[in-house]
Amino acid sequence: MLVCIPNVLTKAEVLEFRQLMDGACWEDGRRTAGSQSAMVKRNVQLPPDGDLARSLGRRIIKALTGNPQFLSAAIPLHIFPPLFNRYSATEGHEFGIHVDNAVRGDPLTGLRIRTDLSITLFLTEPDEYEGGVLTVEDYFGSHEIKLPAGDLVLYPATSLHLVTPVTRGERVASFFWLQSMIRDERARSMIYDLDVAIQGIVGRVGAGDPEAVRLTGVYHNLIRYWAEC
């Protein structure tokens, strides 16, 4: 399941993030890559344990935990502290095809998570750069994603994916992972589809409709059945 979520950050918030990041020191992005990923990763990132990355990351998590679509699609148990990267055309930056590590650990907090879902939050507008397309492969083929600044894409961390070479300008984004309460990807997808359908029914007939109430009960009971807390 691949879900795009608009307006996680406002344009004003994106501008503030970018202004703060423009004056920061960046480091080799391979610091947070696994052994296989490091061979194909060429970008820079904010130091993940630095004050700026942590401060901006907390703001992103606060925005996400107030976003109904994100909560519905992810059913998050643990969210890894967001990281920030930059791809520059002048440096020939790209990230070849790879799969994310199954487990991520945060040395500052001791948090260790199973990476069920990968997240990219775009912080540059599509017309600010050429290339830099996130390409995610799944059972149905390849999906090319290049979203407006402030929008987010959520996709299974089991997916092979890449970022094509940036050939003009710079691409800035936040990237991170989460562990869902619903471990099984198919179950999580069905629960999300059910929630979307319920919201559509509620919008037409109201939350008090008996069938809407019954379906809402099914939704919560499925979460009870599958959830790992």
Q: Quick one: pLDDT at residue 136?
A: 98
Q: Quick one: pLDDT at residue 34?
A: 76
Cα 98 from Cα 147, distance rounded (Å)? 21
Taking alpha carbons only, the member of 150, 145, 148, 149 closest to residue 133 is 145
Give the pTM. Answer: 0.95
Burial class of residue 121, CB neighbours in 10 A (0-12, 13-18, 19+):
buried
Cα 126 from Cα 133, distance rounded (Å)? 9
Residue 44 and residue 85 in contact, taking contact as beta carbons nearer than 8 Å: yes
What's the farthest any 2 CA atoms get from each other in the chain? 60
Q: Quick one: pLDDT at residue 46?
A: 98
Cα 115 from Cα 157, distance rounded (Å)? 6
Cα 195 from Cα 210, distance rounded (Å)? 16
Amino acid letter for position 134: L
Q: What is the DSSP string of 125-174?
A: -GGGEEE--EEEEETTEEEEE-PPTT-EEEEETTSEEEEPPEEEEEEEEE
pLDDT along the chain (229 residues), means of 10: 97 98 94 83 96 98 97 98 97 95 94 98 98 93 96 97 98 98 96 96 93 96 95
Instruction: Collect all residues with Cβ–Cβ distance below 8 Å to 190 and sequence separation of at least 6.
Output: 222
Burial class of residue 129, CB neighbours in 10 A (0-12, 13-18, 19+):
buried
Residue 174 and residue 57 in contact, taking contact as beta carbons nearer than 8 Å: yes
Q: Quick one: pLDDT at residue 103?
A: 97
Q: Quick one: pLDDT at residue 80?
A: 98
